[in-house]
Amino acid sequence: MRKLTAVLVLLIVMLSFVSAKLVIWSSENQIPALEKLAADFESDYGIQVEIQQVNFGDIKSKFLTAAPAGEGPDIIVGAHDWVGELAINGLIEPIPFLPEADQYYDVALDAFSYGGNLYGVPYTVEAIAIIYNKDLVFEAPKTISELEELAFEASDDEVVGLIYAVGDFYHSAPFILGRGGYIFKETAAGLDVTDIGLNNEGAVAGGNLIKSW
């Protein structure tokens, strides 16, 4: 399956088949799928799987407290941007082998890698999308110019033609990165934190575009 994610399954240091039991922390949304996988796993390997529901926003903080004491789960379902912190603290183990790795987007596997090691298995994709009101806009814009034109046409005293969380870099990033800006330079050896691309020509152009709105 070719799937990219901002969410993953992290393998934890305490994983031990000696206990013949695996504990998974997951938020509510993933539990139905995990229950089916757990049943198949138990049938194939005879190892019990216990899935514990934890609020997504609490998983990392609870794990950071439990793991150093040798407690907590063997596997967690969490976000790819947790990997660096957990790996640096020695709280997760690399995945030594991923079957059918070529069926995943490289960018997904890169997102869950740190120091040349893969720490998580991506299973879904998250992206930003434009949502438009078909009563006001009959066809989605294909370019920024079309977006601006349609936004102006739809605007009046009661309707705002374009609105988004401009102060959240996650939502503003496409307009900056799409023009050649970047946070840290990507190299074959990983991110070069000494090469920051938030003041290059593309980043400035994207920032000026946002400012013009």
Model confidence pLDDT, tens digit, residues 34-83? 999 999 999 999 999 999 999 999 999 999 999 999 899 999 999 999 99
pLDDT for position 125: 77
pLDDT category of residue 190 using cuts at 50, 70 and 90? confident
pLDDT category of residue 3 using cuts at 50, 70 and 90? very low
- pLDDT tops 90 at residue 4: no
The structure's pTM equals 0.72
Query: CA 55 → CA 10, 27, 31, 67, 207, distances in Å?
Result: 16, 5, 12, 17, 35
- pLDDT tops 80 at residue 150: yes
pLDDT for position 191: 81
Both tokens assigned to 80: 């790819």
Give the bridge partners for 10, in sequence order: 76, 120
pLDDT category of residue 7 using cuts at 50, 70 and 90? very low
Both tokens assigned to 182: 């970047």
Mean pLDDT of 141-149: 94
Residues ≥6 apart with Cβ < 8 Å to 86: 10, 60, 63, 64, 92, 119
115 versus 175: the higher-pLDDT residue is 175
Residue that has been written with the tokens 């660096």 in this structure? 84
What residue ranges define each of the domains in the chain, with the CATH number in brackets?
A: 7-122 (3.40.190.10), 164-212 (no CATH)
